Amino acid sequence: MSELAREAIVLNMGPHHPSTHGVLRLMVELEGEVILRAEPVIGYLHTGFEKEMETRTYHQNIVFPPRIEYLATMIEEHAYVLAVEKLLGIRPPRRAEIIRIILAELSRIASHLVWLGTSAIDVNVTSLLMYCFNDRERILDLFEAVSGQRMMHGYMRIGGLQWDIPEEFPARVREVVEEIPRRLEEYERLLSDNLIWRQRTEGVAVLTRQDALRYGCTGPIGRGSGLNYDVRKAFPYGGYEEYDFDVPLGRRGDAYDRYLVRMEEMRQSCRIIRQALDRLEPGPVLIDDRKVALPPRRELVRSMEAVIHQFKLVSEGIHPPPGQVYAAVESPRGEKGYFVVSDGSNRPVRVRVRAPSFHNLQALPVMLFRNYVADVVVAIASIDIVLGDVDR
Amino acid sequence: MTDRREEVAQAFRGLAEEEVRFRDELTLLVSRDSIRDALVRARDLGFLMLTDLTAVDRHPAEPRFEVVYLLTALDPPARLRLAMRLPGGDPTVPTAVEVYPGANWLEREVYDMFGIRFLGHPDLKRILMPDDWEGHPLRKDYPLVEEPVQFFGHTPKPPSAIIPRTPPRKD
């Protein structure tokens, strides 16, 4: 080894590499195949949503959140709507809250299924992608039954929901929720004790609890490192305090622990959905405040008041009191927050999206230090980044 | 939660210029010179996680920029927001990277979008925009370029002009 010169080479991974889950470019400095330094380069998917949201009214902005993080769409809408509701100081009716929780948890399962399929394909378990997308399609069918859209729903409204769920919806959800844990067991049989899977993920991309805290990593990344922080438990929103569920924690903070945490999270989501279905009771799904929500159609033919309210809402929008609020939800990637600043007019002065992937990606160089090149792919997969969420 | 908020407000009595309580959130207004002390004090109080660091452009009001630090304590759960106003002519802030390492990218993003410079930051360069981009997109005086849909004989309004901005309500 002595007469051979050791020198570091710089390797660009991405932005077209299939394992970068979008458009991420990684500049990796290598010595042999050991990583000395890694620097993520982002911004290839920067769309300018925050600027865009300053030029629309609060109601028009509902279409943007699902396009920011396009895998967990309902959770995203939930976050934005909660922020505006907090600004107005209102709470939606109970039935709307329960339906929102059902949809948000279904969204979490769908997102984790995509993560499972794509991270499996990153270590060449190709068949799993098909199974996972098959299951996810069933969940998207449920969303379509509710909102008419597979992915970009625009179903939640400030103060409730667009309309009520169809009659047969709870039965269909129950069917899916019964089915999914059985499927998950099958996938775990395929992966958990699989020698290749374990060797590729155990001890790879280790993040200590201390580092997770310092870099603000939340969600399965932080919990995989043993950081006991779940927004649903710490700062309950939208009625989550009534539900009984556990928060899985990892110990070693490697990619395998994150996999276990996410698998357990899906089961807990099924548990929450079952409880929510039992609590479903008839009632209104939109708040009865004419300054916030549109009046029902049947009133428009009878009452002049309703026509005026509708006209005001459509032509101007709502006028929240001046102030700034921050509302966060637990997305599949961590803490998703919306920081909304209002000056009392019908448009927000500033909408800031607190993107969990952005923070988690920042810790990637820490995770990769002294790992091998082949582990980069596993590390990116275990973070479960969505580049739309990173770049906004 | 409530007693904790009072305790935090009590701890910042000397540093904070103003306390804003809105929708049970506590915002402390801190001056530029004391932001470092405020961050260190918050960390020692148990606010170990920097959840978000962002800025608000209050153009044409003066002081123009407001830098916002959102801090989270995990056990017991609590949130605290520190806000700091900056003049538009000289938007420089001491960096928070030594106190919270996670502030690195967030400060780069604020610099990229607002042109606020963080003194002492290890690597202050653009993060979302290309390196050679001119201007700072999230400033209010940076125009939003929109293209109305093209029809023959009729040009509809651009999307942001469909519902005009209304002044703040007095009701």
Q: What would the pLDDT profile of A165-188 be if each residue is shown by its tens digit?
A: 999 999 999 999 999 999 999 999
Nearest chain B alpha carbon to A350: B56
Nearest to B128 among A345, A354, A391 (CB): A391
Share of chain A above pLDDT 90, in %: 35
Enumerate the β-bridge partners of residue B37.
Answer: none
**Mean pLDDT computed over B84-98:** 87
Cross-chain residue pair A323–B23, CB shorter than 8 Å: yes
Q: In the structure, what pLDDT confidence band is assigned to residue A113 with cuts at 50, 70 and 90?
A: very high
Nearest to B166 among A316, A358, A391 (CB): A316
Judged by average pLDDT, the poorest of A51-55, A127-131, A365-369, B13-17 is: B13-17
Element (H, E) at A383: helix A374-383
**Mean pLDDT computed over B90-117:** 89
**Mean pLDDT computed over B48-65:** 87
Q: Nearest CA to CA, how far is A62 from chain B (Å)?
A: 14
Q: What is the pTM of this model?
A: 0.92
Share of chain B above pLDDT 70, in %: 95
Nearest to B168 among A317, A322, A352 (CB): A322
Q: Nearest CA to CA, how far is B83 from chain A (Å)?
A: 11
Q: How far apart are CA A101 and CA A283, in angstroms?
A: 16
Instruction: Report pLDDT for A172.
Output: 93
Is residue A90 within 8 Å of residue A289, measured between CB atoms? yes
Interface test with B, best of A210, A215, A387 (most B CBs within 10 A): A215
Say whether residue B107 is in contact with chain A using an 8 A CB cutoff. no
Kindly tell me if the per-residue pLDDT of A110 is higher than 90. Answer: yes
Burial class for A83, CB neighbours closer than 10 Å (0-12, 13-18, 19+)? buried
**Which tokens in the block code for residue B108?**
């780069």
Cross-chain residue pair A216–B23, CB shorter than 8 Å: no
Interface test with B, best of A27, A84, A241, A341 (most B CBs within 10 A): A341
Nearest to A216 among B49, B128, B167 (CB): B49
Nearest to A323 among B22, B104, B160 (CB): B22
Q: How far apart are CA B130 and CA B116, in angstroms?
A: 17
Is residue B53 within 8 Å of residue B70, measured between CB atoms? yes
Instruction: Report pLDDT for B2.
Output: 53
Nearest to A344 among B50, B54, B168 (CB): B168
Is the C-alpha dihedral spanning A296, A300, A305, A311 positive or negative? positive
Which of the pair, A357 or B158, is modelled with greater confidence?
A: A357
Is residue B71 within 8 Å of residue B96, measured between CB atoms? no
Instruction: Report pLDDT for B171.
Output: 57
**Mean pLDDT computed over A284-289:** 88
Instruction: Report pLDDT for A111.
Output: 92
Q: How far apart are CA A389 and CA A49, in angstroms?
A: 10
Q: How far apart are CA A312 and CA B150, in angstroms?
A: 28
| C-alpha to C-alpha distances, A356 to A240, A279, B106, nearest whole angstrom | 20, 31, 12
Residues of chain A neighbouring B57 (CB-CB closer than 8 A)? 350
pLDDT tens for each residue of A135-161: 999 999 999 999 988 889 889 989 889
Say whether residue B102 is in contact with chain A using an 8 A CB cutoff. yes
Which of the pair, A380 or B148, is modelled with greater confidence?
A: A380
**Mean pLDDT computed over A66-78:** 90
Question: What is residue B109's three-state secondary structure?
Answer: helix
Nearest chain A alpha carbon to B26: A325
The angle subtended at Cα B158 by Cα B154 and Cα B164, nearest 5°, is 115
Is residue A117 within 8 Å of residue A133, measured between CB atoms? yes
Q: In the structure, what pLDDT confidence band is assigned to residue B35 with cuts at 50, 70 and 90?
A: confident
Q: Taking phi first (over 0 means left), then psi (-120 to 50 degrees means alpha), and beta for anything else, what does residue A128 get? A: alpha
Instruction: Report pLDDT for A79.
Output: 92
Cross-chain residue pair A317–B144, CB shorter than 8 Å: no
The one-letter amino acid code at B68 reads: V
Residues of chain B neighbouring A328 (CB-CB closer than 8 A)? 51
| C-alpha to C-alpha distances, A131 to A18, A135, A265, A383, B99, nearest whole angstrom | 19, 6, 19, 21, 45
Kindly tell me if the per-residue pLDDT of B114 is higher than 70. Answer: yes
Say whether residue B99 is in contact with chain A using an 8 A CB cutoff. no
Torsion angles phi and psi, residue B157, rounded to 5: -70, 155
Say whether residue B61 is in contact with chain A using an 8 A CB cutoff. no
Q: In the structure, what pLDDT confidence band is assigned to residue A124 with cuts at 50, 70 and 90?
A: confident
Q: Nearest CA to CA, how far is A268 from chain B (Å)?
A: 22
Q: In the structure, what pLDDT confidence band is assigned to residue A5 with cuts at 50, 70 and 90?
A: low
Burial class for B143, CB neighbours closer than 10 Å (0-12, 13-18, 19+)? exposed
Interface test with A, best of B107, B128, B132 (most A CBs within 10 A): B128
